[in-house]
A and B are shown apart, each in its own frame.
Chain A
Amino acid sequence: MSGRGLRRAAIVWVALLALTVIGVAVGGEHGAASPATRVGVVVALTLGAAKAVAIALEFMELDVAPALLRRLVLGWIAVAWTAIVALYLAG
Chain B
Amino acid sequence: MAATATRRDPEARGAGRVPGEPGTWVLVLGEMTLFLALFVAFLVGRADDPELFAAGTDRLEVGFGLADTAILLTSSLLVAAAVRLHRAGRPVPAARSAAAAGLCALLFVVSKAVEWAGHAGDGDGPTADPFWTLYYTVTGMHLLHVLVGSLGLVLLHRRVRRPTGGPGDRVVIEGAASYWHMVDLLWVLILPLVYLASA
Q: How large is the interface on B (under 10, 10 to 19, 20 to 34, 35 or more residues)?
A: 35 or more
Q: Is B191 an interface residue (CB 8 A)?
A: yes
> With A1-B88, A28-B196, A55-B76 as given contacts, are A66 and B191 in contact (CB-CB < 8 Å)?
no
Q: Mark A1-13, 1 if CB is under 8 A from B, else 0.
A: 1111110011011
Q: Is A91 an interface residue (CB 8 A)?
A: yes
Residues of A in contact (CB 8 Å), total 57
| A34 to B: closest C-beta gap in Å | 10
Residues of B within 8 A of A40 (CB): 196
- Compute how far the CA of A6 lies from the CA of B175 in the bound complex, rounded to whole angstroms: 19
Q: Mark B18-44, 1 if CB is under 8 A from A, else 0.
A: 110000010011001100100110011
Chain A contacts with B in 26-83, Cβ cutoff 8 A: 27-31, 33, 37, 40-41, 44-45, 47-49, 51-52, 55-56, 58-62, 64-67, 69-70, 72-73, 76-77, 79-80, 83
> With A20-B73, A37-B199 as given contacts, are A84 and B29 in contact (CB-CB < 8 Å)?
no
> With A3-B88, A45-B197 as given contacts, are A55 and B16 in contact (CB-CB < 8 Å)?
no
- A residues engaging B (CB < 8 A)? 1-6, 9-10, 12-13, 16-17, 20-21, 23-24, 27-31, 33, 37, 40-41, 44-45, 47-49, 51-52, 55-56, 58-62, 64-67, 69-70, 72-73, 76-77, 79-80, 83-84, 87-88, 90-91
